[in-house]
Amino acid sequence: MQGIVAQPRFYDVSEVRPYRVHMRIVPRYVVGQVVLAGDAAHVNSPAGGMGLNGGIHDAFELAAALVAMLREGADDSRLELYDRRRRPIAREAILLQADRNRARMRERDPVRRRALLAELQATADDPIRCKAHLLRSSMIDGLRNAALIS
């Protein structure tokens, strides 16, 4: 804190809660009657704010699967579809993007850091790339791609 906002008297740190940043995913979301979603299925760096959002997307897809099974006569294979739709998205879109976000924030080499930020700025300045970036980072792309999996 002194390095960021120095003050004459040192900050009084009353509590420190370090946490370990994970990048993990289970090999299957569905085993028998046990179905995983959210952090129980995948955990990632908080950089980019993707964990909870990804978990909510899991919950939407899982709710659709349960409605189909309980009300519309679908069999257990609907849960396999839930796994096929959500697990690749978590692995390829959420975990990898969160890791890229974290790597950008952790970069200490000033030259490399400037290059990464310049790349982000160039994306922001280009409407087509900017829209593609927003669709990807908001995970709307992931939802659309998942819906195509049958």
Ligand X SMILES: Cc1cc2nc3c(=O)[nH]c(=O)nc-3n(C[C@H](O)[C@H](O)[C@H](O)COP(=O)(O)OP(=O)(O)OC[C@H]3O[C@@H](n4cnc5c(N)ncnc54)[C@H](O)[C@@H]3O)c2cc1C
* Residue numbers at the binding site for ligand X (CB under 6 A): 19, 38-40, 46, 49-53, 55
Q: How far is the CB of 67 from ligand X (least distance, A)?
A: 20
CA distance 93 to 81: 18
Nearer CB in complex with ligand X: 55/142: 55
Q: How far is the CB of 95 from ligand X (least distance, A)?
A: 12
Nearer CB in complex with ligand X: 63/122: 63
Q: How far is the CB of 22 from ligand X (least distance, A)?
A: 10
Nearer CB in complex with ligand X: 52/122: 52
Nearer CB in complex with ligand X: 10/19: 19
CA distance 140 to 135: 5
Provide the token pair at 93: 């879109």
Q: How far is the CB of 48 from ligand X (least distance, A)?
A: 8
Q: Which residue is nearest to ligand X (CB)?
A: 38
